[in-house]
Amino acid sequence: MLRVGQAAPHFEAMTTSGERLSLLGLRGKIVVLYFFRRAFTRNCTVETKGFRDNYEELVALGSEVVGISCDEHATQCRFAETHGIGFPMIADTDRSISTAYRTFFSLLPMISHRVTYVVDRQGTIAGVFNHEFQVVKHLDEVTTFVRELAKKDV
Residues tagged active-site: 44
| Helix 135-152 / helix 42-60 crossing angle, nearest 10 deg | 20
Contact predicate 70/92, CB 8 Å: yes
Which long-range contacts link 108-116 to residues 24+ away (Cβ below 8 Å)?
111/37, 112/35, 112/36, 112/37, 112/69, 112/70, 113/1, 113/35, 114/34, 114/35, 114/36, 114/37, 114/43, 114/44, 114/47, 114/138, 115/1, 115/34, 115/35, 116/32, 116/33, 116/34, 116/35, 116/142
Closest CA to 82 of 91, 93, 74, 92: 74
